Structure 1
Amino acid sequence: MKLLMVEDNKSVSEMMVMFFKKEKWDTHFAYDGEEAVEMFKSAADEWDIVTLDLNLPKMDGMQVAAELRRVSPTVPIIMLTARDSESDQVLGLEMGADDYVTKPFSPITLIARIKALYRRSELNTIGGDQVGSDDSQFDVITDHFKLNSKTREVYLNDQLIEDLTPKEFDLLKTLAQKPRQVFSREQLLQLVWDYEYYGDERTVDAHIKKLRQKIEKVGPQVVQTVWGVGYKFDDSGAAK
């Protein structure tokens, strides 16, 4: 795995070096926002995951996240945030981060988060045949929706929903596997984030917001809010 850690505190980076070496990851460090963007753009297709501090010199983490997302809509991003900055956490997720870890953090916790996100995003690199009309290629099929877990491709009315991040894909798959079943935010955190999650339930709302924006580019909205409860998938009204 090739990892880019964007962190202006060199003592934090130095602390993480031995943990990364133990995992045998190919790790690179950037110490300000501009350097991070330049490093990422120089090998955009090669990075497997990015950890991104919010408080950076020259260009802050939000700006960096926006730049990275313009270059790669799908590279997994973990934001590192202060404990008392819930608004920053939610904003970071809305800017395209897949997850966040609060500072100060345990190196073991960060490693676990990286592994959990990478396990899911790794499927993005699994090749598959060109999607055609053969429905056997899809493992989730409803009236107007098809999802292929191997190629990580999702279609609504035969239109590809593009640029889904790993978490957005997993969230949509979880909902679509059980059409019209209502999932609470807590259930979605447990099912999608793949570990004991201590974050605010607004994490789910932030991802749903971005997911809906991408769905609406190709067709009617299929992720619906059940007020006071949570969310459900329903494509019964999604005919062309």
Structure 2
Amino acid sequence: MADLVLMTSEHDGAAAVLPGLTLLTLDVETAPLTTSALAANLEMQAIILDGRRDLVSARALCRAATGAMEAPPILLVLEEGGFAVVAVSWGAADTVLHSAPPAEIQARIRMMCDRANAQVSQTSEVVVEAAGISIDANAFTVKAGGRLLDLTYKEFELLRFLAAHPGQVISRETLLQEVWGYNYYGGSRTVDVHIRRLRAKLSPEFDSVISTVRNVGYRFDA
């Protein structure tokens, strides 16, 4: 069984979509750009999705893959014009230009899969308890002093990542990469806004567990 699947409508497969891929010793299968083909390849290590010609279909497949299907990470192949419209909300793990050299393609696939494996490892820690705060990774719930908090997904992921590294100063750039993803184009102010909202929901009794380290980032004080 192949490790990767290339989803495309091109008859020539990788030679037409991502020529640099043909120069790598990777076991790649080809599948059509359909949701049924996506569902049939959920056990693959990664999916390479051809988004050069039809961005609407590419976006729909990316969103389907990162929704209920729980598909492997997706490397979205684009032409230069496609980068102007692609967004983090699509759900692709990474993007690559169709003319990218083999070394870049291999590096992007490797890092994409490493990040996916790291996320699986983090979720294996089902419950994290520190400083009177209980974080349940399976149920996506947080309790502070026994009180259930109403957090958004990003607020939950932000708190969970900080709590997983108690006492460590985490930069805003690292939090953007780990919580929002490497292909997020927003600024570091996004982190500050979410931290402010998170502290408000923690209430004065627990908001001090997240300390601000001036000009650097934030620290979880257990």
Deviation of 1:58 after TM superposition, in Å, equals 10
Unaligned runs of 5+ in 2: none
Are the equivalent residues in 2 in contact too, given 1:7–1:56 (CA < 8 A)? no
| Residue of structure 1 in register with 2:93 after alignment | 98
| Residue of structure 2 in register with 1:202 after alignment | 186
Q: Normalising by the residue count of structure 1, what TM-score does the alignment of the two structures yield?
A: 0.54
Deviates more, 1:116-125 or 1:173-182: 173-182
| Residue of structure 1 in register with 2:31 after alignment | 30
**Residues 66 and 234 of structure 1, relative CA distance in 2, 3 Å threshold:** same
Are the equivalent residues in 2 in contact too, given 1:183–1:231 (CA < 8 A)? yes
Deviation of 1:60 after TM superposition, in Å, equals 1.9
Deviation of 1:173 after TM superposition, in Å, equals 5.7
| Residue of structure 1 in register with 2:172 after alignment | 184
The CA distance in 1 between the partners of 2:51 and 2:9, in whole Å, is 10
Deviation of 1:4 after TM superposition, in Å, equals 1.7
| Residue of structure 1 in register with 2:59 after alignment | 62
Deviation of 1:108 after TM superposition, in Å, equals 1.4
Q: Which AA in structure 1 matches 2:38?
A: F
Task: Note the alpha carbon deviations across 1:182-205, whole angstroms, 9 max, x for none.
Answer: 6333x446x649xxx7x6743989
Deviation of 1:81 after TM superposition, in Å, equals 2.5
The CA distance in 2 between the partners of 1:58 and 1:86, in whole Å, is 10
The CA distance in 2 between the partners of 1:84 and 1:183, in whole Å, is 32
Larger radius of gyration: 2
Percent identical among aligned pairs is: 14
The CA distance in 2 between the partners of 1:114 and 1:155, in whole Å, is 32
Are the equivalent residues in 2 in contact too, given 1:82–1:103 (CA < 8 A)? yes
Number of corresponding residues = 189
Partner SS for 1:202: coil
Task: Note the alpha carbon deviations across 1:193-229, whole angstroms, 9 max, x for none.
Answer: 9xxx7x67439899x8xxx8xxx9xxx589x9x9xx7
Unaligned runs of 5+ in 1: none
RMSD between aligned alpha carbons?
4.8
Deviation of 1:39 after TM superposition, in Å, equals 1.5
Are the equivalent residues in 1 in contact too, given 2:18–2:98 (CA < 8 A)? no
Q: Which AA in structure 1 matches 2:46?
A: I
**Residues 172 and 83 of structure 1, relative CA distance in 2, 3 Å threshold:** farther
Q: Normalising by the residue count of structure 2, what TM-score does the alignment of the two structures yield?
A: 0.58
Deviation of 1:129 after TM superposition, in Å, equals 8.4
Partner SS for 2:67: helix
The within-5 A match list for 1:4-83 is 4-9=5-10, 10=13, 11=15, 12-13=17-18, 15-19=20-24, 22-23=25-26, 25=27, 27-31=28-32, 33-34=33-34, 37-44=35-42, 46-56=43-53, 60-73=57-70, 75-83=72-80
Partner SS for 2:100: coil
Are the equivalent residues in 1 in contact too, given 2:166–2:221 (CA < 8 A)? no
The within-5 A match list for 1:164-179 is 174-176=161-163, 177=165
**Residues 100 and 182 of structure 1, relative CA distance in 2, 3 Å threshold:** same
Deviation of 1:75 after TM superposition, in Å, equals 2.4
| Residue of structure 2 in register with 1:2 after alignment | 3
Deviation of 1:66 after TM superposition, in Å, equals 1.8
**Residues 232 and 5 of structure 1, relative CA distance in 2, 3 Å threshold:** farther
Partner SS for 1:97: coil
The CA distance in 2 between the partners of 1:50 and 1:75, in whole Å, is 7
The within-5 A match list for 1:89-238 is 89=86, 91=87, 93-123=88-118, 131=126, 138=128, 141-146=130-135, 156-157=142-143, 174-176=161-163, 177=165, 181=169, 183-185=171-173, 187-188=174-175, 192=178, 201-202=185-186, 220=201, 232=218
The CA distance in 2 between the partners of 1:74 and 1:231, in whole Å, is 32
